[in-house]
Amino acid sequence: MMRQRGFTLIELLVVVAIIGILAAVGVVAYNGYTSAAKANAVKLNHALAVKIITAQLTRVDIDGQIEAWNSQTKKCEMRQAHQNFDYNMSLAFSCLNE
């Protein structure tokens, strides 16, 4: 009598089903990781933009003038020992669509 070699159809179907389930779980986990990475990138870019805007709105010139943003009047005030200049300044914010 000859011995049969190989797998039955049921065994192959079970293995394919297990591989499919593992692949589905892996894809869902991968999508979660990529969306979390994108959210982190947006948060870091926002923090960097806030730092850049703050640095631009508050700075000291060579001649000693201090430029500071006044959120009440929405103007940038130039202050020096004897003078007080008032300049209009507007901020433009843009959204990244990704």
Mean pLDDT of all residues belonging to the chain = 73
- Cα–Cα distance, 86 to 27 (Å, whole number): 57
- Of 5-14, 16-25, 41-50, 83-92, the least confident: 83-92
Express each pLDDT in 44-71 by its tens digit: 999 999 888 888 777 655 655 555 655 5
pLDDT at 4: 75
SS3 state at 71: coil
Bridge partner list, 78: 67, 85
- Going by the DSSP 8-state scheme, the letter that residue 91 receives in this structure is -
65 and 39 in a single domain? The answer is no
Where in the sequence is the domain holding 29, given as residue range(s)?
Answer: 11-57
- Whether the pTM exceeds 0.85: the reply is no
pLDDT at 67: 59
Number of domains in the chain: 2
49 and 75 in a single domain? The answer is no
In a domain, 1, yes or no: no
